[in-house]
Amino acid sequence: MKEKQIALITGASGGLGRELALALRKHDPALECWLAGRQPDKLKETAACIGGPVRCLTLDFSDRAWPEKWQEVLKEEQPAITWLINNAGFGYTGPFAEEPFSQVLDLASVDFTAPVCLLSLCLPYMKKGARILNVSSVAAFLPLPQMALYSAAKAGLLQFSQALAGELEKQGIQVTALCPYWIGDTGFIRRLSPHTPINLRGSLSAKEVACRGIRGALQGKTIVTPGFLASFIRIGCALLPLSLLLKIRKYWKT
């Protein structure tokens, strides 16, 4: 029996995940997209938007039992995973010391541990020509006070992506880390902005970020920083001391 060619997109309930699915569908209309997320109704909306062969999978990375459930799906389906897009994630603002432990555990699990574990489970089903796209953030370059754990998780995911890219190069599997600046039209920003004012000057839309992310992965880039500000932060963090960059960021927020 011929292996099923699929693309797995996590966090596909809306926002950037939905736009990544749309951008991927435009690139390969025949590819079967597996949309994973916590909200079945939202996943169905994404499925209706992208059309074509699609499957919706309810997957909550804060549920400690998710790896076992996912292993069962893989063993049953035996898919050929040609794209794995790790987009699921969330963030919050505030002093780390004041955050409840349950929230700390969930963020560390969803933003870093889950994509790493998902990759471990999916790699046996990936062959030469497959692509992995991990959604990180410019916070991976510039650690954000009041978002300490989020910054650390995204930095870890970036470092992991770069190291894995070197490991999988001989196998012909491409690994890309997508590191955007703020994306103004997603639920992520709406959840943060009531608590912390966010300057969205220079931000891109989810559609723009998704298109640049997919294009960068197809071009074989290991890191994609979409837009001027994301690229500026990446270069600035490589050249300037962190203390100066944090002062610039504080000014930019005003």
Q: Which long-range contacts (CB under 8 A, 24 or more apart) does 166-170 make?
A: 168/132
Other C-beta atoms within 10 Å of 90: how many? Answer: 17
Looking at 125, 154, 181, 221, which residue is catalytic? 154
Match 């919706």 to its residue by tokens: 56
Question: For the residues of 38-70, what is the DSSP string, one character each?
Answer: S-HHHHHHHHHHH-SSEEEEE--TTSTTHHHHH
Q: Which of 150, 170, 251, 253 is catalytic?
A: 150
Q: How far apart are CA 166 and CA 163, in angstroms?
A: 5
CB 16 within 8 A of CB 226: no
SS3 at position 100: coil
CA–CA dist 99, 92 (Å, integer): 9
User: Is 75 a known active-site residue?
Assistant: no
Q: Is there a catalytic annotation at residue 150?
A: yes
Closest CA to 220 of 185, 176, 155, 250: 176
Q: 39, exposed or middle or buried, with CB in 10 Å at 0-12, 13-18, 19+?
A: middle
Instruction: List the catalytic residues.
Output: 150, 154
